[in-house]
Structure 1
Amino acid sequence: MNIKEKFGSKVKELRSQKGFSIEFMANISNVDRTYISDIEKGKRNVSIEIMEKIITALDTDFGAFFNDMSFKK
């Protein structure tokens, strides 16, 4: 799994845990719903600004978000 897929998987996991639809997530993060969908599928190379919007909308922070993600190959 590459880093885009790991990031997207984590976004989807947290979004689902909170009971957010992609549409609701798009509204609270101010990120287009198709862009969020593509992120969750690992198809987007996400900028730091978009990461911040998404992580904030998920009511977490960068440290907590990335804490349990493995970056080992």
Structure 2
Amino acid sequence: MDVRQRLSANLRRLRSEHGWSQEDYADRAGIHRTYVSDLERGARNPTIMMVEKLAVPFALTASDLIA
């Protein structure tokens, strides 16, 4: 599994565990809902700065999010 696939799987899993819709999570992360959908499908290759932003709502570090 490559890093983009791990990120996608982790985002879906964590978002589901928190009971958040894609829109809820997007609001918390300060990004657009369609971007969340693209990330979860592996259709986007986010920058490391974006990975850091994606980790904040889960109270994780960027490295934890992609581990």
- TM-score band w.r.t. shorter chain: 0.7 to 0.9
Q: CA deviation at 1:63?
A: 4.0
Instruction: List aligned pairs for 1:1-73, cutoff 5 A.
Output: 1-66=1-66, 69=67
The answer to whether the Cα contact below 8 Å between 2:7 and 2:65 also exists between their aligned partners in 1 is no
How big is the alpha-carbon RMSD for the aligned residues of Structure 1 and Structure 2? 1.4
What amino acid sits opposite 1:13 in the alignment? R
More helix by share: 2
Q: In structure 2, give the amino acid aligned to 1:27.
A: D
C-alpha displacement at 1:2, in angstroms? 3.2
Mark the runs of 5 or more structure 1 residues left unpaired by the alignment.
Answer: none
Normalized against structure 1, the TM-score is what?
A: 0.79
Q: Which of structure 1's runs of 4+ aligned residues deviate more than 2 A?
A: 62-66
- Number of paired residues? 67
- Residues 36-57 of structure 1 deviation map (CA, whole Å, 9 limit, x = unaligned): 1110011100111211111011
**Percent same amino acid at aligned positions?**
30
